[in-house]
Amino acid sequence: MNAPADFPTRQPRLAAFLARRGIHYGWAVAAVTFLTMLVTAGAVGAPGVLIGPLQAEFGWATADISSAFAVRLMLFGLLGPFAAAFMNRFGIRPVATVALTLIAAGVLGSFTMTRLWHLVLLWGVVVGIGTGLTAMVLGATVATRWFAQRRGLVLGLLTASTATGQLVFLPLLARLTEVLGWRSALGLVLAMLLVAVVCVLLFMRDRPSDVGLLPYGASVPPPAPVLPTTFGAMLASPLVALRDAARTPTFWVLFATFFICGASTNGLVQTHFVSLCGDYGMAAVTAAGMLAMIGIFDFIGTVGSGWLSDRFDSRWLLFWYYGLRGLSLLYLPFTDFSFYGLSLFAVFYGLDWVATVPPTVKLTADRFGERANLVFGWIFAGHQLGAAAAAYGAGFSRTFYQTYLPAFFVAGVLCIIAAGAIVAVRERRPAPTAA
């Protein structure tokens, strides 16, 4: 929808081209965001095929390698609330550009690493900070600013891009690692990051008013954003939001269940599934193909979850998502790691890989209002803390017990617990009306 006459009319060529065809520029911004989150997620998922090659070349133990990846996952989550604050103050495009550049620097530096601390610095700290600045908060910010309608659909698509990117690129990365070595696989990651940076610089805009538009589906301009007056206030705003949210039981239930979500997805399956299958004689390329299948079904499940969360109680959706995920993880060791058994697991598990995100975001927005993006940043931090714990814990299990299976059993049980806990979130009570 076009903006009122007093809106600025600085429309780039693409915006004018789309407007002549009745297409809102928000869809272009959503597409660039989709690409950015997809490529970033591909970089996040790359360690899934690096554990074996790094062990073979440097002799590092699985637990030591996993510790570096755990640092990355922890920073990926902890920076989420501050990424929202940075986007509010500096804009989406500068933050996304810096983030992609940092990830590329970390990947490029790893071509010459020779010590374990190099891995921790490059893949733990540098890539962790870069990915943290483009965490799930980026998608939530774009969906909120650019879409008054179809927001749930956009959020579902952007959420799906994250998990799908982590998984779909793995077969190609695994094949390149097998044929040409792990450095060649990381070269592909660098090329994708370069494409994403160029698209962000050319097409990303901060707000609809930057191109003379209202948000998609809006009939009146949104209120002007209230920004912190100083840099210190900006850095403090996520901490203030955390202080206030932490006083409510709802926050802690959402934080704990999202901790379990991260422990049962990114930290466990994404990081260790290829190595787990290798323990049972499956080639890395085949195992990565199973992860790609999970990614494909995740895309379907997450978009569908966004549609369902607009129509049904988010608490009961999460009850079923966590419960079914827990059952699938408990089933995994009994597949005998056959192609048929793992395919069944991939379909069942993949449908709710991150289907938990849309209803969790909706519950957060419902309970915390205008500060929902900052509060969700902290809830997402819980997700990544769980992922970090699982990434290290599964590596510890493999190193000291010679098997990953205890970690998968624990994750399955935790998902069952999360299914029971989420129904404890109280329904939002309507505001009282005047007599």
Q: Which two tokens stand for residue 252?
A: 């802690």
Query: Based on the number of CB atoms within 10 Å of its own CB, is 2 exposed (0-12), middle (13-18) or buried (19 or more)?
Result: exposed
Q: How many domains does the chain have?
A: 1
CB 220 within 8 A of CB 214: yes
Please give the model's pTM, rounded to 2 decimal places.
0.72
- Tell me how far apart the alpha carbons of residues 346 and 290 are, in angstroms, rounded to a whole number: 6
**Does the residue 1 lie in any domain?**
no
- Cβ contacts of 157 within 8 Å, gap of 6 or more: 30, 34, 303, 306
Q: Which two tokens stand for residue 399?
A: 């190193």
**Does the residue 167 lie in any domain?**
yes
Specify which residues 147 forms β-bridges with.
216
Q: What is the pLDDT along the chain (435 residues), one digit of tens a residue?
A: 444 444 444 456 777 777 777 888 889 999 999 999 888 877 777 776 777 788 888 888 877 887 777 787 778 777 878 887 888 888 889 999 999 999 999 888 888 888 888 888 888 889 888 888 887 778 878 887 888 777 777 877 887 777 666 666 777 787 888 888 888 888 888 898 999 999 999 889 888 888 888 888 877 777 666 666 677 777 788 888 889 999 999 999 999 999 999 899 877 887 788 888 888 888 877 887 787 788 778 888 888 887 788 778 888 999 999 999 999 999 988 888 888 888 888 888 888 877 888 888 888 877 887 677 778 888 988 887 898 888 888 888 888 888 888 888 999 999 999 999 998 887 554 444 433
* Range(s) of the domain holding residue 157: 13-216+233-422
Query: Beta-carbon neighbour count of residue 369 at 10 Å?
Result: 9
Query: Beta-carbon neighbour count of residue 57 at 10 Å?
Result: 11
**Does the residue 59 lie in any domain?**
yes
- Tell me how far apart the alpha carbons of residues 211 and 17 are, in angstroms, rounded to a whole number: 12
**Does the residue 223 lie in any domain?**
no
Q: Which two tokens stand for residue 144?
A: 């909120």
Nearest alpha carbon to residue 46 among 178, 167, 152, 162: 167
- Tell me how far apart the alpha carbons of residues 130 and 111 are, in angstroms, rounded to a whole number: 18
CATH number, domain containing residue 159: 1.20.1250.20
**Does the residue 22 lie in any domain?**
yes
- Tell me how far apart the alpha carbons of residues 139 and 130 are, in angstroms, rounded to a whole number: 15
CB 358 within 8 A of CB 155: yes
Given phi > 0 = left and psi -120 to 50 = alpha, else beta, which region is 337? left
CB 280 within 8 A of CB 122: no
**Does the residue 224 lie in any domain?**
no
- Cβ contacts of 356 within 8 Å, gap of 6 or more: 257, 258, 261, 305, 318, 321, 322
- Give the residue carrying structure tokens 């073979």: 56
**Does the residue 4 lie in any domain?**
no
Q: What angle do CA 170, 174, 180 make, to 5 degrees?
A: 140
User: What kind and span of H or E run contains 43?
Assistant: helix 25-45
| Neighbour-count burial for 273-296, b at 16+ CB within 10 Å, e otherwise | bbbbbbeeebebbebbbbbbbbbb
Half-sphere exposure of 416 (CA within 13 A, CB side): 10
**Does the residue 2 lie in any domain?**
no
